[in-house]
Amino acid sequence: MPSTRGCEKPLTESAPADTAGLRALAIRAARWVARGGAVGVAVSLALLVVTSPKGATDTAFALGALVLGFGVTAWSTAVGLGETIEGVQAYMDLDSAWTEAGAREAFFVLSWLGAGWTTAAALTAIALGV
């Protein structure tokens, strides 16, 4: 008999997962990581014109980390304050195209783009031997 640890339902039972939705989300995230990776490699190689390989990859990594950090911070703000911002807009009768869902989508893109960018910059540094 499975353990319940004080719950009515056994711990081994889980809610049915939306596998199609999770799969679609994972595919979208992977696409943005790949695009970020392309940006990371391109920026690293472009910076080779003006600086050393170490400087180029370090700068590319820092720029990618900036995008990643901004994306994650803004995404969490949109998740935490999205309903409040929409409520204030409704209360003040502001006609804005801003929505919580739109903000989460935008910052999802920035976060995964930054993740790919930083990873590619680090891998470019390894490939260049720095």
CB 54 within 8 A of CB 37: no
Secondary structure letter of residue 84 according to DSSP: H
- pLDDT score for 37: 97
Q: What is the pLDDT of residues 51-61, one digit of tens each?
A: 999 999 999 99
> For the chain, first and last CA: distance in Å?
56
The larger pLDDT score, comparing residue 14 to residue 20, is at: 20
At residue 3, the pLDDT reads 55
pTM metric for this prediction: 0.77
Question: What average pLDDT is seen over the chain?
Answer: 88
Q: Which amino acid is at 19?
A: T
pLDDT of residue 44 exceeding 90, the answer is yes
Residue 15 is given by DSSP the state P
The DSSP result for 46-64, as a single string, is: HHTTTS-HHHHHHHHHHHH
Residue 8 has what DSSP assignment?
A: S
